[in-house]
Structure 1
């Protein structure tokens, strides 16, 4: 696919959506000083050219559920088939093919302890020709939301960013329980994070007042996370990698917060496993990735080991299977 370069207004629109994926075109237009029609036209064009997607994702940590990053070893000739099979599962958030073709990496979100145990102890091990299973539970996210990647465009000025930033999340004092109406709303938002109130009414069978109130509750408690995805080549960044860091426990929080501010880092989280800090990194070239590892990661005190794996192809992002 030919890379679609983005102009300053495109970048501002993308960052506005990362701040608030459901911000109205009129609100964005007012802050950016353009017409509603211009914002709507740019949004439609970005959907066609760089596959812009806004997806509603449940933050499992707010629901007392765990998210996992699972690394599956396999022979090179079955990696693509395995990835495609996993992409069809509703409990997978993302699927990546990793350099060497002998690993498939995926984000998974079992909805209960029983589902988790069945998945990690039985189902994955029964898949033919898997040679290894390594599961890493997300303990704390430093950057990127619930397995969501940030592109960090920094296109908005501070005043624009402040005007577009939604109200702060007020976490509930105890885990939130969802009912059938909430689940139906989240299912619709997984398909389109910008679904209208009318569309959400149709999906839930509820009145506009109920839908609006439920939507506000899901957002203000942080249960609903709006993820923004688009083809990374549009930013000139063509090398994606996952870095698995082993960090001294006393330095884990400090280093996690430090790497979260790096422009190259789209996602950072503390995890279980031999490596206890995982980063999703995006660079313009392998030379830039080398510079990032040596000049930024290499200067942080407390990092003991670093394993870097290149992402060859992303097969699924949230509800989207990529072709």
Structure 2
């Protein structure tokens, strides 16, 4: 994997709809070179940009589900969860005895969510236990900017000046101010952008049967309101095949905000959020290998005050990322 590939991935993680010409200018290379690397990453690493709703401004809630089940049932149940439109990041962990996934609920009174959590999953005889943790605050991942494959270099691929130059001209989605009511056009645009977050305004206009200027204006309005952001999907295996691990931490409440902010600054951390439940801070970390994971836990996590306990669970397979079910990725 070339350094330019890492830079390009980081750039698209900052703004998934940034024109390749603009990225090339910031990186100081030709448009043609960036286009070639982009095409290669799409082919070899499954790189794609996905448009997503930012849950809170549109009245959604996100739950983190943790299911323990017998190994013979885990993959089948994970695939069934992955087929649901309201799930994200469906993964097998802990040697195949555990499923971890995100569930996006329409709101406090989501009957489909309740049926899943209260009836369908508990009725599965091979499910040994289930816990549901509501996400309270995101520190890193989702709408916030991503450091790219920082585990390869031990630091972000782009320097601060390059990151600032590529930042989209909208307020960060994490700073939304008001609730956003979605209309028919919005749902159609989100569905189309969920299939291809880099689709041109002209192509989107044809798909949703609206004028191009209307599409352009509405996407800008949704991004400006913090309701729409763009996520990046990429297979980590060609990028060094990092060790992916989830961490469930018990942090004293007085230290929770500071600890979450500290995790957000760690290049190893891809995702971090405060949650409800017996543990109150969840994170996904990507390290170059087991030794690097040990060093991270002992040195970086061990140095943070206020953490009373840490439970880790290695990810062995990713069944679904943020979009539709695609290639199944084994980790490790």
TM-score of the pair, normalised by structure 2: 0.91
Q: How far off is 1:148 after superposition? A: 9.0
Give the unaligned 5+ runs of structure 2. Answer: 151-155
CA deviation digits over 1:70-99, x for unaligned, max 9?
011111011111111111111111110112
Aligned position for 1:307: 311
Contact 1:243/1:307 (8 A) holds in 2: yes
TM-score of the pair, normalised by structure 1: 0.93
Pair 1:82-2:77 in alignment: yes
Give the unaligned 5+ runs of structure 1. Answer: 1-5
Aligned position for 2:322: 318
Q: How far off is 1:132 after superposition? A: 1.3
Aligned position for 1:206: 210
SS of corresponding position for 2:61:
coil
Aligned position for 2:64: 69
Contact 2:49/2:232 (8 A) holds in 1: yes
Structure 1 stretch 146-155 or stretch 237-246: which is displaced more? 146-155
CA distance in 2, matches of 1:26, 1:60: 31
Q: How far off is 1:47 after superposition? A: 0.6
CA distance in 2, matches of 1:93, 1:231: 15
Contact 2:133/2:275 (8 A) holds in 1: yes
Q: How far off is 1:221 after superposition? A: 1.5
Runs of 4+ in 1 over 6 A off after TM superposition: none
Which of 161, 164, 174 pairs up with 1:162?
164
Structure 1 stretch 227-236 or stretch 10-19: which is displaced more? 227-236
Which of 223, 226, 233 pairs up with 1:229?
233
Which of 187, 193, 198 pairs up with 1:194?
198
SS of corresponding position for 1:163:
helix
CA distance in 2, matches of 1:103, 1:149: 26
- Residues 9-88 of structure 1 mapped to structure 2, 5 A cutoff: 9-88=4-83
SS of corresponding position for 1:299:
coil
CA RMSD of aligned residues (A): 1.8
- Residues 60-209 of structure 1 mapped to structure 2, 5 A cutoff: 60-112=55-107, 113-114=109-110, 115-146=112-143, 151=148, 153=150, 154-169=156-171, 171-209=175-213
Question: Aligned pair count?
Answer: 318
